[in-house]
Structure formats: structure tokens, C-alpha cells
Chain A
Amino acid sequence: MTQPQRVLSYLDALNEALAQELAADPSVVVFGEDAVGGHGCDGTMGHAWGPTRGLHNQFPDRILDAPITESAFVGAAVGAAATGLRPVADLLFVDFAGVCFDQILNQAAKLRYMVGGKAAVPMVLRCMWGTGMRRGAQHSQALYSLFTHIPGLKVVAPSNPVDAKGLLAASIQDDDPVIFFEHKLLYFGSRAVVPEERYTIPLGQAKVVREGDDVTIVAIGRMVNEALAAAERLEAEGVRAEVVDPRTLSPFDFDTVYASVEKTSRLVVVDESNPRCSVATDIAGTVAENRFSSLSAAVRTVTGPHAPVPFSPALEDAFPPNADKIVDAVRSTLPSSVTSKAS
């Protein structure tokens, strides 16, 4: 008799990855603010905020609460990684990278290079990102472009629970520093059947999540769902969109994008971050540079605006790309006959 398939939220998938990696490798250590929760309080322990909930019971010595001192504990993750641990530090909101950027930019990313390859920094820095939770300008950014820019770092941004579990496990097992982006709207909103066994999804491998041959839509993180919704609507108009989820932003699987563009000849890149010097412009520019002859239309990007993320729900909802904006961008890449037929 087959068991009913088990559905996990994105948050629970991350929790399971952490638990399995902690169990498998005694050098894995997890810390951040409220990673245990309840230290120094009169009540009970274990009031973890997020994906570490419950883990301290199983691994009391390897889940640590950190004071709100990101420079110290992110830097400690670097030092620990370089001397034998596999730390998973939790920045909470990626916006807080501002207070510990030296530890990421100058220490974690460059240590191996500066010592001529005689050390490695196998650490993971987990962080929440993205709009939609009414958290305002300092808790809602999509800052992966900053980290993708920096040699020495790897950058991962899973779009669903299955990838979240497999990519987090792969990131913990990876010997380089990984900045791991978890979209906060996916934590509870994204649910899927997740395999119970320990598994990894290799870093640097994109996934074609929907096949089509009229246009390629590359979408990052939560935008994958918006791209799929757009593709559904385009299908009704007779336009078959292929949706590619890069899953990892550094290294970036350009080969999968190239192969798709060679087939479709059109590219729309969907990225929730600000538009300038972004992953979206990087993908668009790199494809234009290397597959110009495959393209039959200008590459389009659909991004947030060159503005901070506002608080007001009415304003915030206008910030990120959505299926409507993606459909419009796709239409703008199509010959006018197709566009007029569609409208």
C-alpha cells in the first residue's frame, strides 16, 4: 500500500534539510538570532523564529543563539569554516548584510584566494528576501545582485520547497561560502510534496520548469510562480512560453538559458530586484553578447523600479513584477501579427 504523499511548506523543507545535515555531519553548526530562542528568559527554550524550530532538542550543542551582532557572528562563521566547521549562519533579513558586509565581501569571499588556495570557507549565510510582507524599505530587498557580483561567493535562490531542501543541503555540503536567499512569501505560501530522504540538488543547474518554443522567460525565486501564471495565460493566446528557473545565481547556468533561447529566439528576464546592475541585466547582457544571432527580438527585463520598497500595501504591491507585467513584456517581444492576434 502506498503512503499518502507528504506535503511540506518551504519553511519546513528548510528545517528538514538543516536537521538532516546536522545529523549527518558533526561539523555542521547552526546559529543566528533566536536560532534556539528563549535563552536568558524565564520561560521555556526553543522559541525559534523560523526554520530552526525544534532543532535544539535534537542538537543542543550545535544550535546557538547569537546576539544581534551580525559582524561578530558572520565573521565567526568565516573563522569557524576556515578551521573545520560547516557553519550555517542566519542573517534573518538580507537587508542586515549592511551591518556585516565586510565579513561577507572582504573575509568570506576572499580568504581562499588571498591565502593561495590553502584554506576554504565552507559556510552558508541564510537570509530572507523579497517584497510582500509589508516590512518596508529595510526588510524587503532583493539584494542577490550585490553578492553575485563578488567573486568567491556562491548565490542560491530556490523557488519551491523541493529545491529549497535539496539546494540547502548542497550548500551546506559545498566547500565555498554560499549566500542562500529564502523568499519570505514562499515560507508558508509555497507547499509541495518533498522527498523525506536526504538529497541534494547541484548548485549551478537551472531547471526548465515549463517547456515552450515561442519565448524564454527566466524568472528568479518567487517570480517563477508569476512567470508560470503568465505562461498559462499566454498559452491561452497561442503563445508557448518556456520558463527557466536558474535556482543558482552564482554560478549561473547560462548553457540552459542559451539552449532555450536558441529554440525560442526571444528572452524575457523577470527579477524582483532593482533594475540597475542587476542579475536581470546581467542575464540579458550576457545572452545578447553571446547569442545575438539567435535572437529575433530585443531582450526584455521585468524588474522592480529604481526605488526603495514602500510600506503602504497599495504601493508595495505595485513594486514587484507580476503575471500581468510579464505577459506585457512577452507580447512586446512578439511580431506585431501575433500581438494583434492575441489582443
Chain B
Amino acid sequence: MSFGGLHTNHRAIVAAAIIVFFVLTLVMAILPALREQAFSASAVATPRDSEAERGRHVFMREGCGFCHTQFVRDLPMDRPYGRPSRPGDYVGENPPMLGTQRTGPDLADVGTRQPSEAWHLIHLYDPRAVVPQSVMPAYRWYFVAKDQAGPGDVVAPVPTGSAPSGKVIVAGPEARALVRYLLSLKQPKVSP
């Protein structure tokens, strides 16, 4: 059986494979990506300050995006999370964290839905103190238990039973930055 001589020519097989795959890569990945990249912001989002930017790195470091999407679809079940996401929402996000799993709820607009700093601090220290059935990890390594809060300390007002007795829970810089980031997640308004 002959396939145009290809079956005896390893160079031709490899060349054909490389060329076809590269062309398809160009057409299906690189060129569409360039086009998407060119989209301008749909609206001006609140600029993120440097602390929130540090918080975004904590969010990445802890792999939060493996369980939490930032991607609202135009489907009825996604309405609690905000308006449908637009390409412009992700301008300047490196990387954009749309996500593929919702083991926890979507966070695209969490700063609007849950604007309380205290709630987020408690939730990060002990998720089950605020949502008993939650399976989220407790990020205790970003907090310190102190006998009493010093000046300038941000205290996570955790309920009794969550913290070692007689101690106050003080948020470390990463916890504060992470909360700052979460509060910055607000979908910019778009004109209808």
C-alpha cells in the first residue's frame, strides 16, 4: 500500500506534521489570541492599588483559582454572581483567572456581593466559622495569634472557639492584601 511515498520518507512525515500543526496553531491559537488581546477595556475598572496587586499574587500562590472562577456566563444560574463577563473585564489581568471549576462560588464580583473586610478575614482564618459546611482550606499561616493586639494591627474578629483561648487573631500582611484583592473584584458597570 502506498501513501504517496510518504510511508518510506521519515523527513516528509515529520515536515508535514510540523507544518500542519504549526499552521493550525497559528489559525486556532496565536491569531485569535492576538485579536482578543486587542480588545480595549469595556469600562474603566477601579484601578488596583499595590496592596491589592500583592493580594492577587497571594491568590495565585494559594491556587484559589482552581476552585473559584472569575467568569460569569450569560446563563440564569450565573446571575447571582454578576453580569455576564466581557473580554474587556480581563484587560491587564496577567493571567486572567476565568477558571474551569466551581468547587466554590464565582468571585468575579465578590467585592460587591460581600464587601465586609471582617467577614473575609474570619472566612480566610476559619471558613467553617462563617459557612459551617464549607470545605475551603483555612489559611491560618497568614495570621498570628497574639495575647493582645498592638497599634496598627488588623484583628480578625473570629468567634470564640475558632481561636486559641485568650488570644486575638491578627491578620498578617498577606491576609490583608488578599482581602484587599477580593474587595477589589467588582465588575465595572457597562452601558446597556
| A and B interact physically | no
Please report B residues at the A interface, Cβ cutoff 8 Å: none
User: Interface on A for B, CB 8 Å cutoff?
Assistant: none
